[in-house]
Amino acid sequence: MGVQLPVVSLFSGAGGLDLAVEGCDASRPLRVAVATDYDAAALATLSKNFPETETLCGDIRTTETDELLDKGNLSVGEPVLVVGGPPCTPFSKSGFWLEEKRESRDPNASLLDDYVRIVRESRPEAFILENVQGLTYKTHKEQFGRLLKSLTQLGYNPQWKVLLAADYGVPQLRRRVFVVGRRDGKPFRFPAATHSGWSERDRIVDPTKLPYISAREVIGNLLPGTPESGELVEGEFGELAAEVPPGQNYLWHSDRYGGRNVFKWRSRYWTFLLRLDPSRPSTTLQAQPGPWVGPFHWENLPGEDGKPRARRLRVPEMLRLMTFPDEFQLVGTRSDAQRQLGNAVPVELGKVVVRSLMQQLGYINTDDAECRQNIAEQLHFSLS
């Protein structure tokens, strides 16, 4: 095992990207020297799973770079990577009902500037920033452009791309934008997709790639599982949710499908009463879903009245769909667990980006990587 290479983690949350960093390659291991977040519960989760990582809980806007480096026993220029995803709420479609978010006036959007500040003052060899796809929308053009310009002025030559997690062997149709830059100014090359299938946008399947990993492949063997408090979908739309077939949503109960004619066409968000299709990857797991927002599991369970009810995904199922280890421990309530996982980066997607960057920086020998077998095939068959 080589010398561990230090990493600074910002907006760390529960540690999805941190797991990717420390698990990307055994021959040249990275270590998260220091991690910071304002969410105490999420940082408690990270500390429980990364006992050797120093943590700093606080607002990044009032956290000095020197304080972070000192906490991790690092000096300027020593971190190999700065990684992290500023809170995605300002750029998420789920927040567009707020006028200030539609008009890109959310004050939390300034956290991008603090990410740049820490890169500027810590001078890592490279950085990885991730966020929701919404950051790239025209609504946020000014902020995204300022981010890229600022990082360019630092000499890092940032490259960005929206990646679909399912394209890289994650059983989830989750899109995230990654921005990657190198201190030496050489452009980062994003890794090619390893899997193919049809999504909500694309119906063309590449037969030369591995098929998408389905929800059933990764969580089917968890059934019947252990029930969790509050998992059944009750209330106003409880019966309607139970009648929605796998892969369908509230539109099943419109005049165009076979359910009850209750909802007008396209009158709700797509995720309303959405059920998992076991034969396909999951849709995006949300951090703070409403009471009737899915994806819900494809199976029904009896309610207190004996009638069938849809159920919410359980924590072990969410861990699998986010490609977290089964043994990963989440601190807090079930709602805390969903929020922490819904805000996280799918671990295997993060690994693909981190591994590619470390190869291009020369820390991982690409010949050795090829000799280990194709990583995508390893993931596919380990989840099957």
- Number of residues written out for the chain: 384
Q: Where are the alpha helices (DSSP H) in the chain?
A: 16-23, 40-49, 65-71, 99-102, 111-122, 141-153, 215-219, 238-243, 315-321, 334-342, 347-360, 366-371, 375-383
Per-residue tokens: 26: 């055994």
Pairing type for strands 5-10 and 81-84 reads parallel
57 catalytic, yes or no? no
Position 374, amino acid: N
Beta bridge partners, 34, equal 8, 54
Q: Is 147 helix (H, G, I), strand (E, B) or coil?
A: helix
d(CA 227, CA 242): 17
User: With contact defined as beta carbons under 8 Å apart, do 343 and 45 qualify?
Assistant: no
Within the chain, what is the greatest distance between any pair of CA atoms? 65
* End-to-end Cα distance, the chain: 30
270 closest CA partner among 295, 253, 240: 295
For 168, the token pair is 């890289």
Contact at 8 Å (CB) between 11 and 129? no
Separation CA 273–CA 312 (nearest Å): 11
Helices H, strands E: what count in the chain?
13, 13
Catalytic residue among 24, 57, 88, 371: 88
The catalytic site residues sit at 88
